[in-house]
Amino acid sequence: MPIHFAAHSRRRFLAQLAGGIAAVHSASWLEAAEAEQERWLLFSDTHIAADRTKVAREVNMAENLERAVKAAVAKGKGAKGVFVNGDCAFNTGEAGDYATFASLIEPLRQAGLPVHVTLGNHDHRENIRKGLREAGEQKVVLTEKQVSILEGAKANWFLLDTLELVNKTPGLLGEAQLEWLGKELDTRKDKAAIVMMHHNPDLKEKPSGLKDTARLWEVLAPRKQVKALFYGHSHTWKVEQHESGIHQINLPAVAYVFNQAMTNGWVEAELTAKQMTLQLNAFKEEFADNGKRRVLTWRS
């Protein structure tokens, strides 16, 4: 269930139910096809607790999100929007976590940047609705459906839902969602497809990531319009390429790291019709990849 926080200063986008389990958002601000490139700001794993002073693994998560939001607002001019790829909430997805999350991302929306959210294993489907309602949130599109598609000028973004059980580590897409994904990809062959989900692909016998990874590759690999797969979950920054040529990007956490050699932070993505350029904004400024631009060329 992706959640779309509309920007305050732009026209709200249209939400249309497209049959199946999808909501398709074809927004006026996504249709500026004349532009040479399209820029997006990518966050993951914010782990916000209701209490802004909460610290985990020596990190104040609210302060980290504030830092990312401030930097994104400063660099966000001309960007199409922000993604938060799951684990928005601290641990068990309490309603109060989402109220705090909503208040922390508010400057993005004030800056004209809509925020698109997927759910992770530390989120809770019902509580996010409750929390946002209690926070007096009126301008959030909460789709009833589990997944959605953002049709951009340079690429279509497919936002998936891998939340299986709250506060249990592995995730699952399930057959219905995989079938839906295949069908929706088949009707959009003209533009690059970028898939985003919380859990990392994981082919281990006892996965901590996505349990139906093998099935996901069966759907993605033969469909040549699929160019990139984004995920979070492991709190790791990593760019790889699947044997099919699909780029695999593990987004860093905005919150804490599990391994001190890793950095937290966020990522900028610039899309053209043929490639995507990524730039890591690491919170550990000495981190080797910090500020470097990495060009990922689309497979043909």
Binding site for Zn ion (CB under 5 A): 45, 87
List strand residue ranges (DSSP E) for the chain, in order: 3-5, 15-17, 22-25, 38-43, 55-56, 59-60, 81-85, 115-118, 140-142, 147-151, 155-159, 192-196, 226-231, 238-241, 247-250, 265-271, 275-282, 293-297
Least Å distance, CB 82 to Zn ion, is 17
Least Å distance, CB 46 to Zn ion, is 8
Least Å distance, CB 73 to Zn ion, is 23
> Residue 243 contacts by C-beta under 8 Å, 6 or more apart in sequence?
none
Neighbours of 234 (CB within 10 A): 22
| Residues recorded for the chain | 300
Which of 86, 131 has the CB closer to Zn ion?
86
154 torsion bin: left (phi>0), alpha (psi -120 to 50), beta (else): alpha
Which of 87, 161 has the CB closer to Zn ion?
87
Which of 168, 258, 252 minimizes the C-alpha distance to 207?
A: 168
Which of 23, 262 has the CB closer to Zn ion?
262
Helix 95-110 × helix 125-134 angle, to 10°? 60
Least Å distance, CB 122 to Zn ion, is 6
Which of 225, 250 has the CB closer to Zn ion?
250
Which of 158, 256 has the CB closer to Zn ion?
256
Least Å distance, CB 86 to Zn ion, is 7
